[in-house]
Amino acid sequence: MPRGIIYVMTTVVPGLVKIGKTGSSNFEQRMYNLERNGYFNVVGLKRRFAIEVEDYDEKEALLDEIFSKSCVPNSELFALDVDLVIQLLSSLEGRQVYPEQESKEDSFDQATEERRVKDDWSRIPDGTYHMEKKTKEGTARATMVARGGDFTVKAGAECLPSKEGVWLPEPRKTARISGNILQEDVTCRAPSTASWVVLGRANNGWKTWRAEDGSFIDKYRQKGEK
């Protein structure tokens, strides 16, 4: 039975993902081309999850059928929650190819948790938020812009160094940081991940980012629970 890789990528458009397939030996080249050149006039593609499976043609066709109502006509783009797709793909029998350092179980659990907390994150209004945190390693300062369910740490943020051997989420691992200064914007799915980019360690995003009036964004969660 032919083996190949099925993958999902996010795009610059919130809520729009690409689901595709490629040969096992062609994965890195395919990702490079898509991330560099875009697809179907959509740019900003970033790999999120990939799994090597048997009968990958049939499995990808089945995914297309399942998500047909969410498909952009004549394309491999879908208006879907990427974590829903990751939940489904990580449930398949196969070998996880990306992220390399996580197991399928970890990917499934993380996607499940992300979907659960998105209801909370959706309570945060679009706008600009700030962080200033003093530690033994120095002071972290950053600005985060919330828009359409995405949370973007702006270039110029003063970041803290991460400790060696500590697990880091992908946005922090791939962030361009020079002299502890973030060199380009980094878009995350949650405020806590955005905090990771700046602090380089686990944190509670609700108690890290502040609104323009100086209050923690935790107030939006508390308001939703009343």
pLDDT in tens, 184-193: 999 998 898 9
Q: 213 lies in which domain range?
A: 127-225
What would the two tokens of residue 52 be?
Answer: 């090597």
Residue 17 amino acid letter: V
Distance CA 164, CA 133 (A): 21
Coil, strand or helix: which one is 141?
strand
Tell me: do 69 and 135 sit in the same domain.
Answer: no
Q: What percent of the chain has pLDDT over 70?
A: 97
Tell me: do 139 and 197 sit in the same domain.
Answer: yes
- The answer, as to whether pTM is greater than 0.75, is no
By DSSP bridging, strand 127-135 and strand 138-147 are antiparallel
Q: Looking at the predicted structure, is the pLDDT value of residue 125 above 80? A: yes
Tell me: do 39 and 145 sit in the same domain.
Answer: no
Distance CA 83, CA 109 (A): 10
Tell me: do 152 and 196 sit in the same domain.
Answer: yes
Tell me: do 155 and 185 sit in the same domain.
Answer: yes
Tell me: do 111 and 13 sit in the same domain.
Answer: yes
Q: Name the β-bridge partners of 146.
A: 127, 151
User: Confidence class of residue 204 from pLDDT cuts 50, 70 and 90?
Assistant: confident
Q: What per-residue confidence (pLDDT) applies to 223?
A: 65
Q: Looking at the predicted structure, is the pLDDT value of residue 147 above 80? A: yes
Tell me: do 7 and 112 sit in the same domain.
Answer: yes
Tell me: do 113 and 140 sit in the same domain.
Answer: no
Among 65, 100, 120, the domain boundary falls at 120
Q: Looking at the predicted structure, is the pLDDT value of residue 1 above 70? A: no
pLDDT in tens, 27-36: 999 999 999 9
